[in-house]
Amino acid sequence: MKASPADQRRLVDVAQLDARIRQADNARKNPPQAARVQELLARRQELSQELTTRLGVRDDLRTELSRIESDVAVVDARAARDAERLAASSNPKEAQGLESELAALARRKSDLEDAELGVMERLEIADAAVAEQEALIAATNAEGAELSAEGKRAVAEANAAFDAATRDRAALAGSVPGELLALYDRLSVRSAGAALLWRRTCEGCHMVLAGTDLNALRQAAEDDVVTCPECGCILVRDDESGL
C-alpha cells in the first residue's frame, strides 16, 4: 500500500488519541477510589455487626442494673415499713423479729449495692466499647464519603477526556485516506496500530529492529506503508528513525 508520509504521520496522532480514549474509558469505568470504597463497605458491615453485639451487651447490663435498682427500692420500702412498725411496737417479741428482719434487709441491700457497683463498672466499659465502635464507623463513613466524592470527580474528568479525545479522533481520522485508516483499524486490534520508528526502535512495541529489517526499510520508498516485523503495527519513518 502507498500513502504519503504526511498521511502516515497522521496515523501516529490517531494512535495516540486512541490510547487516550482507552485510558479515559478505563478511568471512568474503574476510578482509582472504587477498590477502596468497596473495602470500606465491607469494613463498615463488619463494624456494624460488632456494634450490634456491643449494643446487646450494654442493653443487657442496663437491664440488669435496672433490676438491681428495683430490688434496692423494694428493700428500702420494706425496711422503712419495718422501721415504722418497730417504732410503734410495744411487743418485745415482735420488736425482736422486726430488728432481725431489718438486719437481714441491711445485708441484702449491701449485697445489692455491691452488685450494682459491679454492674455499673461493667456498664461503663460497655459504654466505652460502644462509643469506640461508633467512632470507627463514623471514620469509615467519612472516608467512604470523601472517596466517593473523589471518585465522582475522577469519573467526570475521565468522561470529559473521553469525549474530547473521541471528537479529536473523529476529526483527525476524517483527514486520513479511507484505505489507510481501514488498515490501521485492523492492525490496532492486536498492536498499537501505528507508531514512529525512532532511533531504530519501534515505539509501538519498544523493540530495537534487527539489521536485516532495517535494511529492508531503507530500501522502501518513503510512501510505502511498512509494518513492524515484531508487533505488526504501521511503522512511520522520519528523520529520527535512524535509517
pTM: 0.68
Helix (H/G/I), strand (E/B), else coil: 2: strand
Residue 94 has pLDDT above 90, yes or no: no
pLDDT tens-digit series, residues 189-223: 999 999 999 999 999 999 999 999 999 999 999 99
What confidence tier does 231 reach under pLDDT thresholds 50, 70, 90?
Answer: very high
Strand order, beta sheet including 194-198: 207-208, 201-202, 194-198, 234-236, 226-227
Q: Which grid coordinates are listed for 34?
A: 472504587
The mean predicted confidence, pLDDT, of the chain is 94
How far is Cα 191 from Cα 180, in angstroms, rounded to an integer? 16
Q: Taking residues 87-114, report their average pLDDT.
A: 90
- Please name every residue paired with 195 in a beta bridge, in sequence order, or none if there are none: 235
Among the listed residues 4, 127, 150, the one whose alpha carbon sits nearest the alpha carbon of residue 54: 127
Q: Hey, what domains does the chain have and what are their CATH numbers? A: 5-25+174-236 (no CATH), 27-161 (1.10.287.1700)
